[in-house]
Amino acid sequence: MALLAGRAETRGTHASLVKDVFVTSKIQPTLPQITIPPSIGTPENVTTTIVDTSALPHERTNLNKEIRKSNVILLVYSDHYSYERVALFWMPHFRSLGVNVPVVLCANKSDQNSSTSTDQVVEDEMLPVMSEFKEIDSCIRTSAREHHNINEVFFLCQKAVTDPIAPLFDSKDSSLKPACVSALQRIFYLSDRDQDGYLSDKEILDFQIKCFGKPLSELDLSNIKSSIQRHLPESVTDQGITQTGFIHLNKLFAEKGRHETIWLILRTFHYTDSLSLQSSFLTPKFEVPANSSAELSPAGYRFFVDLFLLHDKDNDGGLSPTELSTLFAPTPGLPHQWQENDFPSCTVRNDAGYITLQGWLAQWSMTTFTSHRTTLAYLAYLGFDSSPSSPSSSSTTTSTLKALTTTKPRKRPARSHRRRTSPVSRNVLQAFILGAPHS
C-alpha cells in the first residue's frame, strides 16, 4: 500500500494518475482510495493501493493509522512552505510513530518553476533532506498539469517496496553495504566456473543468460568493461573481470538507481529481501522412508568429484588447508559435524596430511547418511545446479534434491526363517564398534 502525504494543494498528482489528464476543477482535500492492477507497473506484477491522507488536526488519528499500515509513503510538496514541512513536521512525525518504511520525496508543480532545472532542485532541495533522513529512498520532480513523471512517481513507490535500495546501498558513504557485498562475492565465486579469479567472456555470457534470460551483445559487454575500467583499470584484464570489478559494477547500478538489476541477480541466486539464502533452497523437503537411508546420487558424487579436482590446484591428490579454505569460501565454513569429528584426521589423507579424493567422497557419504539436511544445505552453498546457464525458475529451487537418493527399505526376516544372504544395494553401511576406550 502506498500512502500519499502532503498538502491538499498537491493532490493533482493523485488525480492525474486516475484521470490521465490534469484536473482543472477544485479537488477535494482527501481523494478516494484507488488501486493500480498488476498489469500496470512493475515486472513483479504487484497490486498497488494508493491511500490519500490529510494532515488536519481532526484527521490525525486516521493519518497515523494509515501511516502504520503503509508499505511506502509518497511525500509531496509544491512550494517553500510545504518543502519546509518535510523536515520540520512530516519526517519527524513518521519517526515518532516508529514506522520503518521507505519514503519517496516528490516536488510537484514543476511547471510553475520552469526556470529552475531539475538537477538544481535535486541539489538544493532534495539532497539535503535525503542526507538528513535516510528513510527517503528516492526523489522525483513532477507536474500534474503537464503530466510530467506522474506514472514514474508511482513506479518509484512500487520499486521502493519490491526492490528496496536500503538493504543494498549506503547513500551517505556511497558504498554497497557489507551484507550485499558478501552476497555478491559468493555469486562471483559461483559464476567463476574455472575458479581462476576472473569472469571470462563466456562466464559473463552464462551469467547474463542465467540472471536475465537473454544474451549479451558484444557491444554491451564492451560497454560494461569500459564502465568498470574508467574507475578501476586493473579490474579488467584479458582474462576477464575481477571480483573487485564485479562488485564495482553493481555499485554503479545502485548509484544510477538501477537497484532492481542487483535484486534480480540476488533473487536468481535465491537470496531473500534480508539478503539471506531462502530456507526452501537450503533445506528443501526430502523424505527418507522408514528403514531406508539417504545417499549421494551419481550426480551428487560427480559434483563433489569435480569440486575436489577444481580446487586441487597443485594436482597433488590432496586438498591443503588453503585449498579447503577457498573451496568453502561461499559457505559458513566447515560443517559443524566435521569439526566435532576433528576433520580431516577422521578420514583418508595423503602423506602430507591432506584429504584425498577417496577421503573427500567418504566424508560426504557419511554426512549424507547421518545428516542429509547438512549435505543439501552445502550443495546449495557450493552451487550445485542442474542447469547453471538457465534462467532462474521455481524448478531450480529444489535442484539440490537431484544430488541425493534413498535406498530400498531394509526387510527384517521373520524369527522362524533362516537368515539368507542377499546382495547389498547400499553404498554406505553403519557399523558399531564396541570395546574399552584406547583398546
With a cut of 50, which residues of the chain have pLDDT below it?
A: 11-18, 21-23, 386-397
The residue behind cell 538544481 is: 120
Please report the pLDDT score of residue 2 as a whole number: 66
Please report the pLDDT score of residue 50 as a whole number: 81
Cell of 206: 552464462
8 Å CB contact between 65 and 98: no
Closest CA to 214 of 338, 390, 10, 333: 390
- The pTM assigned to this predicted structure is 0.78
Please report the pLDDT score of residue 150 as a whole number: 79
Please report the pLDDT score of residue 391 as a whole number: 47
8 Å CB contact between 330 and 186: yes
375-426 tens-digit pLDDT? 999 999 999 974 444 444 444 445 899 999 988 887 665 555 555 555 666 7
Residue 251 burial by Cβ neighbours in a 10 Å radius (0-12, 13-18, 19+): buried
Please report the pLDDT score of residue 26 as a whole number: 56
DSSP E strands: which ranges in 327-407?
355-356, 404-406
Classify each residue of 175-208 as buried b or exposed e, where b means 16 or more C-beta atoms within 10 Å of its C-beta: ebbeebbebbbbbbbbbbbeeeebbbeebbbbbb
Closest CA to 431 of 382, 370, 379: 370
Please report the pLDDT score of residue 154 as a whole number: 82
DSSP 398: G
Please report the pLDDT score of residue 396 as a whole number: 43
Please report the pLDDT score of residue 395 as a whole number: 44
Please report the pLDDT score of residue 394 as a whole number: 42
